[in-house]
Structure 1
Amino acid sequence: MVVSILGHPRVSSFLRKTRIWCNYIHFSELYQVLPNYFEEDFWNQCLKECIEWEAGKNPLWKLVSFYDPEYPKSLKEIYDPPLVIACSGNVQLLQSPMVAIVGTRKSSPVSLSATEELVRLLSTNKSLSIVSGMALGIDRRAFLSALDWNVPVVGVLGTTLGMEYPPGNRDLYKRIKENPNQLLLTEFLLKTEPAKWTFPKRNRVISGLADRVYIMESGRKSGTISTAYSAMEQNREIYVFDHPKQFDNEGGRLLIRQGALRLFGETETEIEEVNVIEMSYDEWRKKRTIPSGLGRDGGLGRKFTL
């Protein structure tokens, strides 16, 4: 049987529309009837492409289908789970409890500092893994902090496995691949370039894997909001970090107004007393200044409680 046929774009599109996969308990049963739904030449072409892909893929990659015991139970709960995922690393992490930490690529120093502190607090739970999207900004800081605290990470890609995107995270990819207790996964099997449509699909997998989703900073129009709305549809708990020194957390504040929980703790300095200086991300990049009220390390002046 060719498991990767479940990840062929044309076949998976058909399965998502018809949902016939819900009628079967074992992959072997679905595999036997699938050819009946396609023209013979078309099916044989798809099968040929998948056979060639499996033959040429990295032998260390493992394919996990919806019907396998290794498939994460939390991901089975969502409406449109990927029917097969390609994994590189410790597949056993798919059975561990996970929390997602996500946020904007154009993250402010206070949000990056908050992300580090959140990961430090989460590291006390030795069975927990952190899932995110391998993007720059919050995703990157969450994973680097997790690796520093020996917390397992699960990176969900919006591209084919083996494509290190974005290039600015190549050092992070290297650290993950060198650590035997980390995992990279994707539902995109055949060659898939990064595109606007691939990342919303990735985002619903991130939230689908997690029990809780932490939004560290988000504009109103962003991929982070896409993850949050997926989490809402999947009935996940959502926590939002909000601070007056963030560049743009309009999306995060919108989520709070819609019922998301606020991630906060006891403040050492009252927020009202902080001299807030409005500064965009681009301005901060040019000036590299630390807004008043923050330490040189971007410290929050705030202690978290979870």
Structure 2
Amino acid sequence: MVVSILGHPKISAFLRKTRVWCKYKHFSELYQVLSIHLDEEIWKQYLAECTQWEKSKDPNWKLVSIFDPEYPKTLKEIYDPPLVLACLGNLSLLKSSIVAIVGTRKSSPVSLSATRKLVEVLSANKSLSIVSGMALGIDREAFLSAWEFGLPVIGVLGTTLGMEYPPGNRDLYKRIKEDPNQLLITEFLLKTEPAKWTFPKRNRVISGLSDKVYIMESGRKSGTISTAYSAMEQNREIYVFDHPKQFDNEGGRLLIRQGAHKLISEIKFSIEEVKVKNASMSYEDWCKKRTIPSEIRRDGRWDFDFNL
């Protein structure tokens, strides 16, 4: 049987629309009736495309369908779960306790420091895994901090496993692929380019995998907000980090007004306030290191402490 048929765009769209897959407990049962619902020539075409893809794919990639025992229970519970995942790495992470840490690519120094500190606090639970979207900014910092404090990561892609996007994170891809205790997953099997529609689909997987979702910084219109709204629909706990020195957290503050937990007060972090000499420092200035307030370290992190 060709498991990747569940990831063919036309087949998956048909199954999501009709919910036919819900009637079956085993992939073999669904596979036998799929051809009945499609024109014979179209079925043969799709099947040939997927058969060829499976023959040419990286042999280290594993396919996990929604009918398999390895498929994560939390993800299966959402309304529109991916029917198949392409995975590279440690599949047992899908059964671990998972929290999502997400945020804007253009992240503030204070948000990056808060992300690192949050991961440090969470690392007290060594059975925990961190999931995020392999983007720059907060996503990247979450993974780097997870490795620093000994936690495995799950990277969810908005592209195929064969594409390393964005290029600025190739070092992360290399590290994950070389370490058998990390994991990359995607629902996109056949050739899929990064596009506006692929990332909201990725974001619902990030929140769907998670017990809790931490929003570290978000503009009002962003992929992070997409993840947060998916988390709301999926009845996940949402925590938002908010600080006056963030560049743009309008989306995060909106979520707090809509009922999300405020990270600092909810988890009872206490912050030693930092007096910033140049509060008007722009994102571009920080990136170019032209203006660095004395309280910010040379690596861009803030020297304040979070204490439980």
Alignment partner of 1:299 out of 275, 298, 302: 302
Go from structure 1 to structure 2 and tell me whether the alpha carbon gap of 1:224 and 1:124 turns closer, same or farther (over 3 Å shift).
Answer: same
| 1:289 equivalent in structure 2 | 291
Counterpart pick for 1:267 among 267, 271, 282:
271
TM superposition shift of 1:285: 2.8
Q: 2:181: which partner in 1?
A: 181
**Letter in structure 2 aligned against 1:268:** E
Q: Deviations over 1:163-197 (max 9, x none)?
A: 11111101111111111110000000001011110
**Matched position secondary structure for 2:238:** strand
Counterpart contact for 1:136–1:166, Cα < 8 Å: yes
Structure 2 unaligned regions, length at least 5:
none
Q: 1:289 offset after TM fit, Å?
A: 2.2
Q: CA separation in 2, counterparts of 1:32 and 1:4? A: 14
How far 1:45 moved relative to its partner?
0.1
Whole-angstrom distance in 2 between the partners of 1:300 and 1:238: 26
Q: Which residue of 2 aligns with 1:277?
A: 279
The answer on 1:202 being equivalent to 2:205 is no
Report how far residue 126 of structure 1 moved.
0.9
Q: Which residue of 2 aligns with 1:69?
A: 69
Contact map agreement 2:4 2:63 (CA 8 A) in 1: yes
The alpha-carbon deviation at position 280 of structure 1 amounts to 3.4
Aligned 1:103-182 pairs, distance under 5 A: 103-182=103-182
Tell me, in whole angstroms, the C-alpha distance in 2 between the residues paired with 1:258 and 1:47.
45
Q: Deviations over 1:16-55 (max 9, x none)?
A: 1111111111111111111011100000000000000000
Q: Deviations over 1:128-185 (max 9, x none)?
A: 0000000000001110111122211000000001211111101111111111110000
State the TM-score, normalizing by the size of structure 1.
0.95
- CA RMSD in angstroms, aligned pairs only: 1.5
Question: Does the 8 Å contact 2:112/2:138 carry over to 1?
Answer: yes
- Given that residues 118 and 304 in structure 1 are in contact (C-alpha distance below 8 angstroms), is that contact kept between their aligned partners in structure 2? no
Give the whole-Å Cα distance in 1 for the aligned partners of 2:145 and 2:127.
Answer: 17
Q: For residue 288 of structure 1, report the CA deviation from its aligned partner.
A: 3.7
- In the alignment, what sits opposite 2:257? 257
In structure 1, the gaps of 5 or more residues are none
Quick check: 17-26 or 44-53, which moved more? 17-26
**Which whole-Å CA distance do the structure 2 matches of 1:281 and 1:249 have between them?**
13
Q: Which moved more, 1:63-72 or 1:113-122?
A: 113-122
Asked if 2 retains the 8 angstrom alpha-carbon contact of 1:207 and 1:231, the reply is yes
TM-score, normalised relative to structure 2: 0.94
Deviates more, 1:277-286 or 1:51-60: 277-286
* Aligned 8 A contact 2:285 2:291 in 1: no
- Give me the whole-angstrom Cα distance separating, in 2, the residues matched to 1:165 and 1:295: 29
Deviations 1:97-135 (A, max 9, x none): 100000000001111111111111111101100000000
Secondary structure of 2:92's partner? helix
Which shifted more, 206-215 or 141-150?
A: 141-150
Give distance in 2, aligned partners of 1:110 and 1:289.
15
Runs of 4+ in 1 over 4 A off after TM superposition: 273-276, 291-297
Task: Look up the SS of the partner of 1:67 in the other structure.
Answer: coil
DSSP-derived class of the 1:47 partner? helix
- In structure 2, relative to structure 1, the CA distance for the partners of 1:162 and 1:151 (3 Å cut) is same
1:170 match: secondary structure: helix
Q: Contact 1:247 / 1:278 at 8 angstroms: preserved in 2? A: no
Provide the rounded CA distance (Å) in 1 between the counterparts of 2:296 and 2:80.
43
Corresponding pairs, count: 303
Asked whether the equivalents of residues 276 and 293 of structure 2 are also in contact (C-alpha less than 8 Å), the reply is no
Q: Structure 1 CA distance, aligned partners of 2:219 and 2:278?
A: 19
SS of structure 2 residue aligned to 1:63: strand
